[in-house]
């Protein structure tokens, strides 16, 4: 992500003379470098814009630069905002308006009119803000001294989301199944997702994958098994069953690369003709390589998982499913049939083989572990409202299993909902949130809200401030705001 660039563009004008403009340049460069060292991406001073033509030229450069994921704008001096109109009309990347200053404090003893003219962000940022509001641009505004921790943290979240947006436009999902029969929430408009999110979602008959599986050599399987041994404990003597999963992993990885770089994978336990087992261990381990996974044909969660994993630096993020409650203690046990990502492992994952009640296949190998703890995590669901996608973001707390579960044959996570068990569940259900989610212990609600804003998507947040009646009113309002038909 550090290779991605956010350009820092200062706004000014020629009214104040060359000396002032030289200071603007020096200060902006110094500020961009200071910020850059504290961001997940690279922040680079681009230019100081003083006219319509200069803004247009800068924006053309921003748009054409594949490595550039967005811009930070700031008005050191006053910058007449009509000069921004033509350029901003053609801007194709996210913009964060940083309402800050080079100096933190006023120089009370020495302040004079020269200082006032050179340092008037309070003045200039308002003029700039007006034109953004007038043009109805959905940009980010962050106010605060640029060296302040909180300002930097908010800017880092925005940078992460901007990088996620750029990544989103490259996401390709290979689905080896349609959605599970009769299931509603995993459905969605793939053309809409392609237009608005950049996701290319393609179907392949599982037979094409089976051809790849048949070509995997014993040597390749040996190498994959050696890799498993570095990460996992072998908890079974049915080695052939495990080797079959290794084969699946190699074949899926190769298939995705050969076919043009798929980073999302979708399967379904009911459409595995030609395969002996449901891919369990294989899918789990693939999620360490950045693949997003969706079960039962759920391509939305596969693509969302790939994007969120990218934003989270491939840590603590993956497919989850609200499975079963402890209603007395207000807990949810999240898991899946097999495919829980080892990024969630709080104990060393063990490879085990157990029967699988559904699907009618051989006993599959899978990783079993207890999930991590995290005081703040998010569970995110994307649903199709018929005219648009809605992103539901819930703050959760990942907690330790209160007791061992020796008969549980899958990996899991245990969590508490915000604001509390009942309101958390009610709000999720009112919003239409799915059972499949992407959970992340590395991303915050703000990261996801920033990304939703960049996507132009409705974002529904459930957190410690959620109150159910107010929440329902908000859903009614956003339904009007975002309704497309
Ligand atoms: Mn499922």
DSSP secondary structure string, 107-155? -TTT--HHHHHH--HHHHHHHHHHHHHHTT---EEEES-TTSHHHHHHH
Contact 367, 231 (CB under 8 A): no
Cα 230 to ligand 1 centre (Å):
29
The pLDDT, as a whole number, for residue 242 is: 98
Cα 187 to ligand 1 centre (Å):
13
- Count of CA atoms in the C-beta half-sphere (13 A) of 213: 21
The pLDDT, as a whole number, for residue 484 is: 78
Residue that has been written with the tokens 């958390």 in this structure: 424
The domain ranges of the chain are 5-168, 172-484
Cα 380 to ligand 1 centre (Å):
15
Cα 435 to ligand 1 centre (Å):
7
| CB proximity list for 187: less than 8 A, separation 6 or greater | 179, 384
The pLDDT, as a whole number, for residue 336 is: 96
List the one residue out of 5, 7, 46, 13 whose CA is nearest residue 128. Answer: 13
Cα 45 to ligand 1 centre (Å):
46
Cα 37 to ligand 1 centre (Å):
41
Burial annotation 4-32 (CB, 10 A radius, 16+ → b, else e) = bbbbbbbbbbeebeeebbebbbebbbebb
Report phi then psi at 74, rounded to 5.
-160, 140
> What DSSP element (H or E) covers 206?
helix 206-215
Cα 437 to ligand 1 centre (Å):
9
Cα 339 to ligand 1 centre (Å):
9
Encoding tokens for residue 277?
């087992």
The pLDDT, as a whole number, for residue 98 is: 97
Cα 185 to ligand 1 centre (Å):
11
Encoding tokens for residue 60?
């053309």
Cα 118 to ligand 1 centre (Å):
59
Cα 319 to ligand 1 centre (Å):
9
Read off the DSSP letter of residue 170.
T
How far is residue 25's CA from residue 9's CA, in Å, rounded to a whole number? 10
Residue that has been written with the tokens 């995110």 in this structure: 380
Cα 434 to ligand 1 centre (Å):
10
Encoding tokens for residue 292?
């997003």
Contact 320, 438 (CB under 8 A): yes
In 3-state terms the chain splits into helix, strand, coil percentages (rounded to 5) of: 40, 25, 35
Cα 114 to ligand 1 centre (Å):
65
Cα 297 to ligand 1 centre (Å):
9
Cα 336 to ligand 1 centre (Å):
6
Cα 342 to ligand 1 centre (Å):
17
Residue that has been written with the tokens 């699988």 in this structure: 356
| CB proximity list for 201: less than 8 A, separation 6 or greater | 172, 173, 175, 190, 193, 194, 264, 299, 303
Cα 379 to ligand 1 centre (Å):
15
Cα 245 to ligand 1 centre (Å):
19
Cα 322 to ligand 1 centre (Å):
9
Q: What is the pLDDT along the chain (485 residues), one digit of tens a residue?
A: 999 999 999 999 999 899 999 999 999 999 999 999 999 999 999 999 999 999 999 999 999 999 999 999 999 999 899 999 999 999 999 999 999 999 999 999 999 999 999 999 999 999 999 999 999 998 999 999 999 999 999 999 999 999 999 999 999 999 999 999 999 999 999 999 999 999 999 999 999 999 999 999 999 999 999 999 999 999 999 999 999 999 999 999 999 999 999 999 999 999 999 999 999 999 999 999 999 999 999 999 999 999 999 999 999 999 999 999 999 999 999 999 999 999 999 999 999 999 998 888 999 999 999 999 999 999 999 999 999 999 999 999 999 999 999 999 999 999 999 999 999 999 999 999 999 999 999 999 999 999 999 999 999 999 999 999 999 999 999 999 998 75
Cα 180 to ligand 1 centre (Å):
10
CATH fold for the domain made of 5-168: Rossmann fold (3.40.50)
Beta strands in 31-128 (DSSP E): 42-49, 68-75, 95-99
How far is residue 384's CA from residue 193's CA, in Å, rounded to a whole number? 10
Cα 449 to ligand 1 centre (Å):
25
Q: Sort 164 into a burial class: Cβ within 10 Å, 0-12 / 13-18 / 19+.
A: buried
List the one residue out of 114, 121, 111, 33 whose CA is nearest residue 73. Answer: 121
Encoding tokens for residue 77?
């001096």
CA separation, residue 142 to residues 6, 22, 65, 97, 331 (Å): 15, 25, 24, 6, 36
Cα 190 to ligand 1 centre (Å):
19
List the one residue out of 321, 256, 244, 259 whose CA is nearest residue 290. Answer: 256
Cα 294 to ligand 1 centre (Å):
8
Cα 300 to ligand 1 centre (Å):
13
SS3 50: coil
Cα 279 to ligand 1 centre (Å):
14
Cα 68 to ligand 1 centre (Å):
37
Cα 296 to ligand 1 centre (Å):
6
List the one residue out of 447, 225, 278, 442 whose CA is nearest residue 344. Answer: 442
- Pure H helices in 232-356: 239-258, 281-286, 299-311
Contact 275, 213 (CB under 8 A): yes
How far is residue 50's CA from residue 11's CA, in Å, rounded to a whole number? 7
Cα 306 to ligand 1 centre (Å):
17
Encoding tokens for residue 148?
């302040």
Cα 436 to ligand 1 centre (Å):
6
Contact 298, 266 (CB under 8 A): yes
Cα 102 to ligand 1 centre (Å):
51
How far is residue 116's CA from residue 94's CA, in Å, rounded to a whole number? 31
Tally of residues, the chain = 485
Cα 462 to ligand 1 centre (Å):
22
The pLDDT, as a whole number, for residue 485 is: 56
Contact 127, 76 (CB under 8 A): no
Cα 219 to ligand 1 centre (Å):
33
The pLDDT, as a whole number, for residue 358 is: 85
Cα 271 to ligand 1 centre (Å):
14
Cα 376 to ligand 1 centre (Å):
24
């Amino acid at each position: 992500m550090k290779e991605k660039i956010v350009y820092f563009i200062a706004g000014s004008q020629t009214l104040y003379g060359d000396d002032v403009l030289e200071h603007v340049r020096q200060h902006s460069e110094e500020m961009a470098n200071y910020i850059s060292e504290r961001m997940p991406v690279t922040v680079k001073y681009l230019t100081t814009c003083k006219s319509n033509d200069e803004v247009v030229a800068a924006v053309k450069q921003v748009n054409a630069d594949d490595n550039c994921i967005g811009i930070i704008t700031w008005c050191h001096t006053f910058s007449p905002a009509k000069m921004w109109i033509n350029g901003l009309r053609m801007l194709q990347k996210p913009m964060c308006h940083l309402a800050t200053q080079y100096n933190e404090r006023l120089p009370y003893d020495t302040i004079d009119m020269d200082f006032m003219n050179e340092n008037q962000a309070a003045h200039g940022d308002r003029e700039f803000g007006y034109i953004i509001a007038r043009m109805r641009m959905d940009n980010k505004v962050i106010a605060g001294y640029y060296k302040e921790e909180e300002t930097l943290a908010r800017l880092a979240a925005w940078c992460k989301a901007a990088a996620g947006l750029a990544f989103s436009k490259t996401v390709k999902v290979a689905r080896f199944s349609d959605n599970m029969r009769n299931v509603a929430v995993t459905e969605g408009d793939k053309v809409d997702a392609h237009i608005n999110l950049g996701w290319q979602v393609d179907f392949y008959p599982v037979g094409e994958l089976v051809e790849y599986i048949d070509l995997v050599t014993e040597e390749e399987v040996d190498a994959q098994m050696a890799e498993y041994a570095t990460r996992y404990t072998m908890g079974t003597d049915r080695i052939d069953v495990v080797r079959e999963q290794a084969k699946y992993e190699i074949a899926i990885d190769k298939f995705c690369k050969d076919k043009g770089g798929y980073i999302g994978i979708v399967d379904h336990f009911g459409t595995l003709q030609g395969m002996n087992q449901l891919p369990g261990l294989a899918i789990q381990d693939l999620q360490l390589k950045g693949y997003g996974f969706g079960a039962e044909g759920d391509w939305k969660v596969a693509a969302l998982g790939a994007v969120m994993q990218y934003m989270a630096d491939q840590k603590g993020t993956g497919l989850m499913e609200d499975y079963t409650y402890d209603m007395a203690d207000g807990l949810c046990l999240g898991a899946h049939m097999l495919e829980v990502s080892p990024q969630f492992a709080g104990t060393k994952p063990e490879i085990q083989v157990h029967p699988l009640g559904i699907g009618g296949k051989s006993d599959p190998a899978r990783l079993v572990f207890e999930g991590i703890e995290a005081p703040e995590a998010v569970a995110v669901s994307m649903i199709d409202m018929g005219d648009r996608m809605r992103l539901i973001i819930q703050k959760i707390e990942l907690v330790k299993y209160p007791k061992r579960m020796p008969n549980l044959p899958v990996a899991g996570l245990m969590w508490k909902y915000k604001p509390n068990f009942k309101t958390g569940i009610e709000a999720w259900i009112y919003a239409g949130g799915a059972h499949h989610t992407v959970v992340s212990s590395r991303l915050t609600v703000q990261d996801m809200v920033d990304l939703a804003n960049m996507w132009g998507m409705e974002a529904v947040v459930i957190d410690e401030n959620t109150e159910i009646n107010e929440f329902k009113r908000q859903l009614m309002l956003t339904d009007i705001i975002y309704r497309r038909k």
